[in-house]
Chain A
Amino acid sequence: SQQGEEDPQALSIQEGENATMNCSYKTSINNLQWYRQNSGRGLVHLILIRSNEREKHSGRLRVTLDTSKKSSSLLITASRAADTASYFCATDHTLAQKLVFGQGTRLTINP
């Protein structure tokens, strides 16, 4: 399966702390994307990192990509209660022409 795997499946931290989620995948990619999903809603695109990039920032988000290890991490700094959601990585594989989603990390920010 090409499906990415997120780790951990669930994460609970205090407001203000940093949250780190990891994603691993199996085959070559064009890019890797991270999405957020609030409960019962659609997914929202957060950030895209291309296979030739190693790190990307967007506001409080930092994404790294290590193609040699076939892994990525999403760091959310200074977490807020509003960051409570599920986070998914999605991989755009070289020959697949479609995104493949992992099963997500459920992040809970405690006030």
Chain B
Amino acid sequence: DVKVTQSSRYLVKRTGEKVFLECVQDMDHENMFWYRQDPGLGLRLIYFSYDVKMKEKGDIPEGYSVSREKKERFSLILESASTNQTSMYLCASSLGTGIYGYTFGSGTRLTVV
């Protein structure tokens, strides 16, 4: 089975800190995605990547950046954490677009205080 592993289940950070959320997949998937999930707002796409060193903005990229130096790893970076970035962050990967489902990690619940 494909596994998508997110480095932390729970994380508490202070306002202004630089935060790194790591995601690793083990099945050579081309595509990787970062979503955030908030009550009443559903899942919103932050960034995605179709290949190494490639990135595309999603619907809410402001305040975030990403890095994909290796195919299996997709990192989400909060440049200067703010309280409105308190959320559940979900990483996903897929083999291709248009015909495959996504495999999600277990999520990282980030609290910014």
Give the distance to chain A from B94, nearest Cβ to Cβ, in Å. 8
Q: Output the least CB separation between B20 and chain A (Å).
A: 19
Hey, which chain A residues are within 8 Å of B35, CB to CB? 101
Residue A41 interfacial (CB < 8 Å): yes
A interface, how many residues as a size bin? 20 to 34
* Interface-central residue, B35, B43, B109, by most chain A CB under 10 Å: B43
Contact B97–A97 (Cβ < 8 Å): yes
A75 to B98, CA, bound (A): 23
Query: Which residues in B have their C-beta under 8 angstroms from that of A102?
Result: 42
Kindly state the separation between the CA atoms of A103 and B102 in the bound complex, as whole angstroms: 17
> Contact size class for B?
20 to 34
Q: Is B74 an interface residue (CB 8 A)?
A: no
Q: B90: CB under 8 A from chain A?
A: yes
Given contacts A98-B33, A101-B43, whether A92 and B107 have CB atoms under 8 Å apart is no
Task: Name, among B40, B101, B107, B109, the residue most crowded by chain A CB atoms within 10 Å (CB to CB).
Answer: B101
Chain B residue numbers with a CB within 8 Å of A99 are: 33, 102
**Chain B residue nearest in CB terms to A92:** B98
CB pair B105–A42 under 8 Å, yes or no, is yes
Q: Is the CB of B102 within 8 A of A45?
A: yes
CB distance from B10 to the nearest CB of A (A): 10
Q: Does A10 contact B (CB under 8 A)?
A: no
> Is A72 positioned at the interface, with any CB of B under 8 Å from its CB?
no
7 contacts between A and B (CB under 8 A): A3-B42, A42-B90, A42-B106, A48-B99, A48-B101, A101-B42, A104-B42
Point out residues on B near A: beta carbons under 8 Å: 4, 33, 35, 40-43, 45, 48, 58, 88, 90, 92, 97-107, 109
